[in-house]
Structure 1
């Protein structure tokens, strides 16, 4: 029975992939014809099947950009960038989309050491740092065994230095892996979708208005309370915004 289940699942996945490929090509053709709204419908149909890729998000963002849909274009470029963080085309198009936004928010510069640590940590994902640590454990064990059983002085010396180096790099990789984990855990970005949203000092509609945000602005969500989200801007400003006015990037 299990074999039959796996075969059926495999065939269904092949069928879904084939259908999505047809939809993707159809959407691209509609986009090239200037039928951007229809292209968006087809791209969204693919998303509804649970299929997500950088190319899909990128093309969907391009279609929204053509229609001057500020918030969706920024949102989907950001989604594409999450899956392909080194893609220059995505970065460039995201910059164009961000130029359409109203809010001009300064970025608080980080201190030298903090900036360097964050830069090094973000060179790899948490999974890759963990894999690096596992590889270094293997190197340490092999080099230590060679050192233990070696007879010649020069081989003992080289393997001892190599094993110590591996151990130090292992410790560094573990530190960076956990730092990356904590950074990712705290990173909860969202895009403002409301044309204009009032940010309050407290999580209720009767509280004092702190400032206003407009569609396409990227924010960080710190916590939730009922239908409100506590947010922070890149310039350090904080406040509470109605959950309906934003869309989280880390959620599908």
Structure 2
């Protein structure tokens, strides 16, 4: 019995060591897989890079860098819809990255559809540019930071006796409070916009947009791969969409991929 117990203890120790090692490998796996994908990309093996990057996505992990590299690999293979799709995904996570935005513009040139957006007022353009300057989380963190700064400055104001310093602190915590309020407003607007918008990319090489959600209805217009649309409604396997010039219609759900 003693020998059996000793063997059992050894087996338990080995099992624990294997589990710890496995957990460590899993913890390192995403970064290792990412580097492996980068190596494939550097060697010009773009499809292998795509397959490698997708392993990370399959584990429910994402990042702007991952989407950006995926988009670059698809761009090298002239995969119009996937490259535009993943650049858009990267922009959602990091809207201020210049490399992502520049490469996304190059990918847009591969599209067939030339759609002229509806004109916007100067105020709306200004508001959109500021709103898109940060992500929802970015605006939220900015709000928290300036609220914290306001509290620190406000408390410091009551512990300082010098009038000149008190004036500076008063001005500083007032400005901090104003910036916090503005940041909160943009955070709310960004969240409301994200809740309202439902963008998607056309993945079908060519898709006939219908006037009604059935194949027997008349054709409204034709879209090609890579075009960005807004999904307004869904009926069974059909999505009602709006494109940048304001036209609306119904497209088969299988022809688009939601962002």
TM-score band, normalised by shorter chain: 0.7 to 0.9
The RMSD of aligned alpha carbons is 2.9
- Superimposed CA distance per residue, residues 49-95 of structure 1 (whole angstroms, 9 cap, x where no aligned partner): 22323333233223322322211121122222333333333333322
Are 1:126 and 2:136 counterparts? yes
Are 1:103 and 2:113 counterparts? yes
Are 1:45 and 2:51 counterparts? no
**Alpha-carbon separation, structure 1, partners of 2:193 and 2:204:** 28
Shift in CA distance, 210/150, structure 1 to aligned 2, threshold 3 Å: same
Which residue in the other structure is 2:199 paired with?
A: 189
- Partner SS for 1:109: coil
Shift in CA distance, 237/10, structure 1 to aligned 2, threshold 3 Å: farther
**Alpha-carbon separation, structure 2, partners of 1:202 and 1:77:** 31
**Alpha-carbon separation, structure 1, partners of 2:149 and 2:98:** 35
Find the structure with the greater CA-based Rg. Answer: 2
Q: For residues 1-252 of structure 1, what are the structure 2 equivalents within 5 Å?
A: 14-147=24-157, 153-249=163-259
Q: How far off its partner does 1:127 sit?
A: 2.5
Shift in CA distance, 9/108, structure 1 to aligned 2, threshold 3 Å: farther
Unaligned runs of 5+ in 2: 1-16
Q: How far off its partner does 1:247 sit?
A: 0.5
**Alpha-carbon separation, structure 1, partners of 2:164 and 2:43:** 70
Select between 26-35 and 54-63 the one with higher mean Cα deviation. Answer: 26-35
Contact conserved, 2:153 with 2:173, CA < 8 A, in 1? yes
Shift in CA distance, 128/60, structure 1 to aligned 2, threshold 3 Å: closer
Shift in CA distance, 101/174, structure 1 to aligned 2, threshold 3 Å: same
Q: How far off its partner does 1:145 sit?
A: 4.3
Q: How far off its partner does 1:213 sit?
A: 0.4
Shift in CA distance, 77/210, structure 1 to aligned 2, threshold 3 Å: same
Q: How far off its partner does 1:192 sit?
A: 0.4
**Alpha-carbon separation, structure 2, partners of 1:208 and 1:181:** 36
Shift in CA distance, 146/245, structure 1 to aligned 2, threshold 3 Å: same
**Alpha-carbon separation, structure 2, partners of 1:196 and 1:175:** 41
Q: How far off its partner does 1:196 sit?
A: 0.8
**Alpha-carbon separation, structure 2, partners of 1:228 and 1:221:** 10
